Chain A
Amino acid sequence: KQEVTQIPAALSVPEGENLVLNCSFTDSAIYNLQWFRQDPGKGLTSLLLIQSSQREQTSGRLNASLDKSSGRSTLYIAASQPGDSATYLCAVTGGNKLVFGAGTILRVKS
């Protein structure tokens, strides 16, 4: 059974810092990995999708990497801003299902 773990559970940083969020998964037989952002009480916004054959994806200040063989992904956020404050979730696809991690709660202080 696929299990997804995210570290740290919570992170508080001053504005402008670069930061890394970690995601690990137990079964490397995945089709893709996706990072989402969730604001309190809201739905999920897709940030980046990495196919299993890819190593990384970039969008603006965000960069996500995937090491499928070791079961790890990182989300790098450059020059963090208060507007980046949210919960960040990673999810892997196996079969037709998404399996989610518990998320990292990020707070960027101004």
Chain B
Amino acid sequence: SAVISQKPSRDICQRGTSLTIQCQVDSQVTMMFWYRQQPGQSLTLIATANQGSEATYESGFVIDKFPISRPNLTFSTLTVSNMSPEDSSIYLCSVGDTYTEAFFGQGTRLTVV
């Protein structure tokens, strides 16, 4: 199993600002994933972060809005840029590949006012 630490656990931000969310894993992993969970909704994949290459974004998500860094095999960041109230969600990072169990961080609860 993997233990994932995500920071901050929650934040209230002003519209127009940016927030960077950190995700630290206790072991080296090839792929890390970032999800968004809007209020009352299920999880939607934002992007896959691979070490040494640019993140792969899902349809509807763009790098300018959600830049991702993956400097090594245990760490990644997701930035939510130029925030609006519609960005208020829980953001989660995850590890696990096609054949293995997926593990999630405790999430970052973001409120944009």
CB <8 Å contact, A43 and B104: yes
Considering only residues 21-64 of chain B, those with a C-beta below 8 Å from chain A are 31, 33, 41-45, 48
CB <8 Å contact, A41 and B99: no
For residue B86, CB closer than 8 A to chain A, the reply is no
Binding site for B on A (CB under 8 A): 31-32, 34, 36, 41-46, 49, 51, 89, 91, 93, 95-98, 100-103
CB <8 Å contact, A43 and B92: yes
CB <8 Å contact, A46 and B92: no
| Chain A residues with CB below 8 A from B96, complex form | 98
Alpha-carbon distance A44/B107, docked complex (angstroms) = 8
Closest chain-A Cβ to B56's Cβ sits at a distance in Å of 9
For residue B7, CB closer than 8 A to chain A, the reply is no
Point out the residue from B10, B33, B43, B94 that lies within 8 Å of A89, measured CB to CB.
B43
Alpha-carbon distance A62/B98, docked complex (angstroms) = 23
Closest chain-B Cβ to A103's Cβ sits at a distance in Å of 6
| Chain B residues with CB below 8 A from A100, complex form | 42-44
Alpha-carbon distance A38/B92, docked complex (angstroms) = 12
CB <8 Å contact, B98 and A93: yes
Point out the residue from A32, A45, A51, A98 that lies within 8 Å of B45, measured CB to CB.
A98
